[in-house]
Amino acid sequence: MSQTSISLLERLRLSADSADWNRLVELYTPLIRGWLLRHDVPAADADDLTQDVLGVVVRELGDFQHNQRTGAFRAWLRTIAVNRLKGYWRGRQHAPQPAGDSEAARRLEQLEDPHSSLSQLWDQEHDRHVMGRLMQLIEPEFPLAWWQAFRRHVVEGVRASAVAAELDVSVNVVLLAKSRILRRLRQEAAGFVD
């Protein structure tokens, strides 16, 4: 099991390790692409625009200053995505616009406001996606039985004693799995969701 003591975000800021950059791309490509598709970007352009957003993240991450406020990275990412989406629509002014173009502009304005319901939805979607993907990415680091215990106890909210009985393990094993997997998730997620 990797015992990395600093988060993926911090590792990316400190070095240019290709495995860490690949992890970032794996983590964020589906989220950004799905978000763009829901904001009227044609599928043919969504991949390119996703790469454009990630390209900005790669170029500017060294200058990103986490202000220790909850959600600083996701707000920065949302700003990059909104700015790239605005640029995309400006570049298409002479091209056919999607139906409801004024609706798309209204949504972009809402996304710029960190207190809007759409920005709050972005934040929730971001955190769910990032935590889910990080769970998938660190899954090979732990035994299958620990994941079963973790999912039943932490994700589904089943009492530790009931999970222990279901899996024919001790309550201590369930709690140990919870503790170690949560610690590892927190290590990888530091800066992304907090």
Does residue 187 register a pLDDT over 70?
yes
Most confidently modeled of 9-13, 96-100, 180-184? 180-184
For residues 88 and 90, what is the distance between their CA atoms, to the nearest angstrom?
6
Whether 98 and 148 map to the same domain: the answer is no
**Burial of 58 (C-beta count, 10 Å sphere; 0-12/13-18/19+):** middle
Whether 69 and 34 map to the same domain: the answer is yes
Q: Give the residue, 38 or 7, on which the prediction is more confident.
A: 38
Whether 39 and 83 map to the same domain: the answer is yes
- Whether 98 contacts 104, CB under 8 Å: yes
DSSP state of 157: -
Three-state secondary-structure class, residue 42: coil
pLDDT at 175: 97
| CATH code: domain of residue 171 | 1.10.10
pLDDT at 61: 84
User: What string of DSSP letters covers 90-135?
Assistant: HHTTTSPPPTTHHHHHHHHHHHHSTTSHHHHHHHHHHHHHHHHHHH
Residue 1 lies in a domain: no
Range of the domain at 172: 143-194
Domain count, the chain: 2
Whether 133 and 149 map to the same domain: the answer is no
- Whether 169 contacts 149, CB under 8 Å: yes
Whether 124 and 67 map to the same domain: the answer is yes
CA distances from 1 to 41, 140, 189 (A): 40, 8, 17
Whether 96 and 110 map to the same domain: the answer is yes
Torsion angles phi and psi, residue 63, rounded to 5:
-95, -10
Whether 53 and 121 map to the same domain: the answer is yes
Residue pLDDT, tens place only, 41-85: 899 899 999 999 999 998 888 888 777 777 788 888 989 999 998
Domain boundary among 124, 141, 158: 141
Torsion angles phi and psi, residue 33, rounded to 5:
-60, -45
pLDDT at 70: 75
Residue pLDDT, tens place only, 138-157: 999 999 999 999 999 999 99
Whether 94 and 180 map to the same domain: the answer is no
Residue 3 lies in a domain: no
